[in-house]
C-alpha cells in the first residue's frame, strides 16, 4: 500500500471511529423502575394512604420489573427520547371536605444495559383531593422532581414535572423522562477529527508535491 493510500485510510478510519463511537456504542437502554413513598421500601407496586381520607390512596406502578425489564432504543445528546418511568393512579376514598396532602416520593431506576447501576430521582407528590361519595370525586395531583437529571453510566434520565386534574377514579397517569446517551467527550471527538483531518491533509500535500515534481 502506498504512503498516500495509508494516510487516506488512516483519515477515513479515524472519522469512522468517531461516528461509530457517537452512534453505535450502545443502541438500546434496558432498565426497570421501583417507587418509594415517604421512605418506604422500593417496590414495583407501591402506594401511599392519603391522610384525612377514608380509603384514599396514591399508587405507583413501575416500568418493567426485575424479572422483565424493558429495552428501548437509545439516542445520543443533543437528541433524546421520552420514555416511561411508571404510572401514578389515585383512589379517592371519602373525605367529606377537601384534603390537602404532600409526601416525599422517589423513583429508583435500575439500569442493566449499557452500564449496570442504579440511580434515584427524588421528588414530592402533593395535591388536593375531594370525594364526598365513596369511589368518586376529584383531585389535583402534582409530581415535582427535585434531583435531576439522574445519570447511570453513559445514560441520563430527566423526569418531567407532572400536574393533572382528574375526576377519580380515572386512568393512570404516566411519569415520563427524557432519556439520552452521553456522546464521546468533546475533547476526544476533536482529537479524532483532528487526526483524521491531518492525515488527509498530509496525504493530499505529498500527493500534490509529487505531481508537481513529476511535471504532471
Structural domain count of the chain: 2
Supply the pLDDT for residue 156. 95
Q: How confident is the model at residue 132 (pLDDT cuts 50, 70, 90)?
A: low
Rounded Cα distance, 196 and 202, in Å: 10
Alpha helices in the chain (DSSP H): 3-23, 186-213
In the numeric block, which cell numbers belong to residue 34? 421501583
Residue that has been written with the C-alpha cell 477529527 in this structure: 193
- 207 has a pLDDT exceeding 60: no
Residues 190 and 160 in one domain: no
Q: What's the whole-number average pLDDT of the chain?
A: 76
Phi, psi of 51, rounded to the nearest 5 degrees = -60, 145
Q: Are residues 7 and 47 in the same domain?
A: no
Q: Containing domain of residue 63, as a range?
A: 26-181
List, in sequence order, every beta strand (DSSP E) within 53-161.
57-62, 70-73, 81-91, 99-113, 117-133, 136-145, 150-152, 155-159
Buried b (16+ CB within 10 A) or exposed e, 90-100: bbbbbbeeebe
Q: Are residues 36 and 99 in the same domain?
A: yes
pLDDT at 135: 59
On whether both 56 and 8 belong to a single domain, the answer is no
What CA–CA distances, in Å, run from 138 to 47, 101, 162?
18, 14, 17
**What confidence score (pLDDT) does residue 193 get?**
41
Answer for the pair 79, 180: CB distance below 8 angstroms, yes or no.
yes
Same domain, 131 and 191: no
Q: Does residue 185 sit in helix, strand or coil?
A: coil
Q: Which residue has the higher pLDDT, 41 or 200?
A: 41
User: What mean pLDDT do residues 42-67 have?
Assistant: 92
The CA–CA distances, whole Å, from 146 to 27, 57, 165, 177 equal 29, 22, 21, 13
Same domain, 119 and 204: no
Q: Are residues 174 and 90 in the same domain?
A: yes
172 and 68 within one domain: yes
Q: CA–CA separation, 30 vs 122, rounded Å?
A: 21
The pTM of the full predicted model, rounded to 2 decimals, is 0.72
Cis amide leading into 114 (omega within 30): yes
State yes or no: pLDDT of 10 exceeds 50. Answer: no
Same domain, 84 and 165: yes
Res. 57: pLDDT tops 70: yes
For residue 180, what is the DSSP state?
E
Is 203 found in the same domain as 114?
A: no
* Lowest model confidence (mean pLDDT) among 26-35, 112-121, 167-176, 186-195: 186-195
Q: Does residue 130 or residue 146 have the better pLDDT?
A: 146
Tell me which of 55-64, 121-130, 144-153, 186-195 is least confident. Answer: 186-195
**pLDDT (mean) for 127-142:** 72
SS3 50: coil
pLDDT in tens, 12-25: 444 444 443 444 44
Q: Mind spelling out the 3-state secondary structure of 5-16? A: HHHHHHHHHHHH
Q: Is the pLDDT of residue 142 over 80?
A: yes
What is the distance between the alpha carbons of residues 49 and 39, in angstroms, rounded to a whole number?
14
Q: Are residues 126 and 108 in the same domain?
A: yes
Which pLDDT band, with edges at 50, 70 and 90, does 83 fall under? Answer: very high
17 with 51, same domain: the answer is no
Torsions phi, psi for 208 (to 5 deg): -65, -40
Amino acid at each position: 500500500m502506498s504512503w498516500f493510500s495509508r494516510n487516506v485510510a488512516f483519515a477515513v478510519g479515524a472519522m469512522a471511529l468517531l461516528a461509530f463511537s457517537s452512534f453505535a456504542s450502545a443502541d438500546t437502554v434496558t432498565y426497570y423502575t421501583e417507587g418509594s413513598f415517604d421512605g418506604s421500601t422500593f417496590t414495583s407496586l407501591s402506594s401511599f394512604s392519603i391522610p384525612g381520607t377514608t380509603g384514599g390512596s396514591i399508587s405507583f406502578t413501575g416500568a418493567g420489573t426485575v424479572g422483565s425489564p424493558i429495552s428501548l432504543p437509545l439516542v445520543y445528546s443533543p437528541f433524546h427520547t421520552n420514555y416511561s418511568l411508571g404510572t401514578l393512579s389515585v383512589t379517592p376514598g371519602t373525605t367529606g371536605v377537601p384534603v390537602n396532602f404532600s409526601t416525599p416520593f422517589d423513583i429508583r431506576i435500575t439500569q442493566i444495559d449499557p452500564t449496570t447501576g442504579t440511580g434515584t430521582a427524588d421528588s414530592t407528590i402533593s395535591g388536593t383531593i375531594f370525594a364526598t361519595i365513596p369511589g368518586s370525586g376529584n383531585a389535583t395531583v402534582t409530581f415535582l422532581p427535585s434531583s435531576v437529571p439522574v445519570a447511570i453510566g453513559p445514560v441520563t434520565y430527566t423526569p418531567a414535572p407532572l400536574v393533572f386534574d382528574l375526576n377519580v377514579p380515572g386512568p393512570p397517569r404516566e411519569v415520563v423522562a427524557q432519556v439520552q446517551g452521553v456522546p464521546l467527550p468533546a475533547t476526544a471527538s476533536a482529537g479524532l477529527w483532528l487526526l483524521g483531518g491531518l492525515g488527509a491533509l498530509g496525504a493530499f500535500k505529498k500527493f500534490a508535491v509529487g505531481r508537481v515534481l513529476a511535471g504532471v
